[in-house]
Structure 1
Amino acid sequence: MRTIALEEHYATAGFLRGPGSWLASRAGVIEPIADLGDGRIAAMDEAGVDLAVLSLAAPGVEQLDGPKAAPLARECNDELAAAVGRYPGRLAGFATMPISAPDAAADELERAMLKLGFLGAVINGHSQGRYLDDPYFEPVLDRAAALNAPIYLHPTIPPTAVIESSYAGFAPEVTFALATVGWGWHINTATHVLRLILGGVFDRYPELQVVIGHMGEATSFMLPRFDATLKPELTGLKHPVSTYLRQNLTYTFANFNDEAMYANLVAQVGIDRVAFSADYPFGSMKAARAFMDNLPLTDDERARISHRNAEKLLGL
């Protein structure tokens, strides 16, 4: 069965010399994350993954000022495009944008989509403490909507003030894990999604599609509570929060290979909003594939998660 992996990561040498080294080195994945060649394709083949949509690993360029972010984003996109050209039909790309300079980011998204053939964009969390509902980023949202470009919203380390107020006071490695992969950056991403909804982004751009990983970053568990407490008469939105979570979001596995979490996600948003990913090389493609293959699904349901939902999202 055809399989498309939606959250798979890469890094360039230039990125690893700059902001990209901290997470990749901590995770011990410098070699596989920099491999845009035969080693990556072999890992895909071993797991039966036909197409991997690659995005620049966190923290991306989101925390850099525009003059530094723009050339690095362009360099990363060009290197990814070259790899896609070497492996047509096996690799695809989400664009990196210098989001701290919104007009330049919008132009880079358009270049990546129209000239490089990319399928959307990745945004690694906040940009210097600002979130996408901020009117500052309207040029990016406007261009993404015009290009029908889905945005993969990936976690990043929370702002320093949040770490200090919520996660400090433990051993440094405990604070780091709690603030990032253990809790903080998942909840920060869920909050980011809620800010997009409550900020009226999807009312202004009803066709805009956002993708989040890690089985929904805990949003599905809270979905009934959102509807009970954030009603349209309070928020001024056109719909309940759940409507946007079911119409404007797609959710991927991203190394959260847990059947109970999957069951809750599907119960809340429906199987047509769920897609396969492995979070490679931070997660194992083989483990993600085995998890999907062992889910109690019909052939039609498995096909939707494996490739059909992604094809619809990406216009393939």
Structure 2
Amino acid sequence: MPLIAIEEHWNSPAVIAALRALPEGQRDESLALSELGDNLAHLNDLGEGRIAVMDAQGVDVQVISLAPPGVGEVAPADAVVLSREANDLAAEAVAKYPARLRAFAALPMTNPAAVAGELERAAGLGFVGTMVYGRTGETPLDDPCYDDLFATAAALGQPIFIHPQLPPRAVRDAAYSGFDEMTNLALATFGWGWHLEAALAALRLIVRGTFDRHPDLQIILGHWGELLPFWSDRTNSLTRVAGLERRAEDYLRTNFHITCSGMLNPVLLRHTLEVTTIDRLLFSVDTPFQRPTAADITQFLAQFPDDEDRQKFTADNARKLFRIG
């Protein structure tokens, strides 16, 4: 059975150098997670080493994306150059392994006027969507300055993956501090804070009426929907208060796709299927931060009730959403 994994990260050396050169206070400390163990070696490999890992896991196709925080908070002019260079590198990798790789575009989010243009350029190179973050500096993703991004993505059929990111410093100091440095970082990132940030970004898009203006826009959330599928009673009340005619969970069913991000937990699968349909679920490993074996993946896929649903999750939904032949 074909297996397409859609949240699989890589690194651009130029982007990493630019992020590390940012002044303290602007620098994203979650970069440290890319340097744990041998993560960096895996992220830097867009060649045979990556293909070998895919073969060992039984993954046929990866959709690659820049590791968090993407192009991050670099200056607007630099962001345009770095995004183009990173996208060109990813395009070269896809051209070298056309049967094994596809790519999400990196976008210069600190330069809103240039975002839609780079998305258009990347789509012309064969990219299947883009990965962004819920906030750039103090500007949330739902700010009107990014509406051209959503209009362009909808028109081109380019799904947008909202990846988690580090909470703002004030939030971290208030809610994610008081332990040793690495525990603070873990609490603010993969342990909890990342996922609240991504959920909040998605919820703000709903409340802002983004999907009423752009009904064809498709968003992807990792980690089983970043908690949103588990809180629909409350979020439905929020959208009613905000004056929207549709409930939050209705948007989840029509404008959102959900991937597991290597969290191969049957309980999470069952609950997500109570909130949305099998046609909205996608497989991913979250390379290299999660490393399930082929046996782990096979055991999880056995939880699906039939071959049709299993194949939708493993490949068919991704083929349709990303137009992978």
Give the TM-score normalised by the residue count of structure 1: 0.95
Distance 1:265 1:256 in 2: 13
Q: Report which stretch shifted further, 136-145 or 280-289.
A: 280-289
Aligned ranges 1:247-266 → 2 under 5 Å = 247-266=254-273
Aligned with residue 238 of structure 2, among 224, 230, 243? 230
After alignment, is 10-19 or 210-219 more displaced? 10-19
The letter of the residue matching 2:108 is P
TM-superposed CA distance for 1:238, in Å, is 3.0
Go from structure 1 to structure 2 and tell me whether the alpha carbon gap of 1:140 and 1:285 turns closer, same or farther (over 3 Å shift).
same
Query: Superposition pairs for residues 58-77 of structure 1, below 5 Å?
Result: 58-77=68-87
Structure-2 residue corresponding to 1:12: 12
Q: Which residue of 1 aligns with 2:23?
A: none
What are the equivalent positions in structure 2 for 1:77-226 lying under 5 Å apart? Answer: 77-114=87-124, 116-226=125-235
Per the alignment, residue 286 of structure 2 pairs with 279
| RMSD over aligned Cα atoms | 1.6
In structure 2, the residue corresponding to 1:93 is in which secondary structure?
strand
Q: TM-score, normalised by structure 2?
A: 0.92
Counterpart CA distance in 2 for 1:118 and 1:285 is: 26
Give the aligned partner of residue 310 of structure 2. Answer: 302
Q: Runs of 5+ in structure 1 lacking a partner?
A: none
Give the C-alpha shift of residue 280 in structure 1. Answer: 0.6
Distance 1:268 1:205, change over 3 A: same
SS in 1 for 2:293: helix
The residue identity in structure 1 corresponding to 2:169 is T
For 1:25, which of 19, 27, 35 is the aligned residue?
35
CA distance in 1, matches of 2:70, 2:78: 12
Helix, strand or coil at the partner of 1:94:
strand
Query: What is the Cα deviation at residue 183 of structure 1?
Result: 0.1
d(CA) in 1 for partners of 2:111 and 2:148? 10
Q: 1:169, CA displacement in angstroms? A: 2.2
Q: Which residue of 2 aligns with 1:55?
A: 65
Amino acid at match of 1:245: L
4+ runs deviating over 6 angstroms: none
Q: Amino acid of the residue matched to residue 118 of structure 1?
A: F
Deviations 1:191-214 (A, max 9, x none): 111000001001100110000111
Q: In the alignment, residue 283 of structure 2 is paired with which amino acid?
A: F
How many residues of Structure 1 are paired with residues of Structure 2 in the alignment? Answer: 313
1:61–1:97 Cα contact (<8 Å) kept: yes
Q: Match of 1:63, SS?
A: coil
In structure 1, C-alpha distance between the alignment counterparts of 2:207 and 2:239, rounded to whole Å: 10
| Cα displacement string for residues 77-135 of structure 1 (whole angstroms, at most 9, x for unaligned residues) | 01010000000121001000001111211111110101x11011010332113222111
